[in-house]
Amino acid sequence: MAARDSFSFRANGSLTGDCYGAALRPYRVVTARGVDGPLAGTYLITRVAHRLTRSTYTQTFELIRNATSNPAGRAGMPGGAIF
């Protein structure tokens, strides 16, 4: 319970194959730059769902971040994908 509650920020979203050309994978660190202030920074991907149809490829994801993660653009957790 303590480990779960140590993460103060949670986010979720979706991407289409047109917007992001790679497949997201859980337990990778990503940098979110599309937001300002305390929400920008490094996040850990906790869940990804891939949906492939005849015409589209969509990824939905969930992210978590603890209160000690550095804002985007500063040294900290090793970077991965950048949104």
pLDDT in tens, 30-71: 887 766 677 778 889 999 999 999 998 999 999 988 765 455
Q: Residue 54 falls within a domain, yes or no?
A: yes
Instruction: Using alpha carbons, select from 36, 37, 24 the residue that is nearest to residue 82.
Output: 24
Residue ranges making up the domain that contains 18: 2-66
Q: Taking 80 as the threshold, does the pLDDT of residue 76 lie above it? A: no
Q: Residue 33 falls within a domain, yes or no?
A: yes
Q: Taking 90 as the threshold, does the pLDDT of residue 16 lie above it? A: no
Number of domains in the chain: 1
Q: Residue 80 falls within a domain, yes or no?
A: no
Q: Residue 20 falls within a domain, yes or no?
A: yes
Count of residues in the chain: 83
d(CA 4, CA 65): 11
Q: What is the per-residue pLDDT for 2?
A: 57
Q: What is the per-residue pLDDT for 79?
A: 46
Q: Residue 46 falls within a domain, yes or no?
A: yes
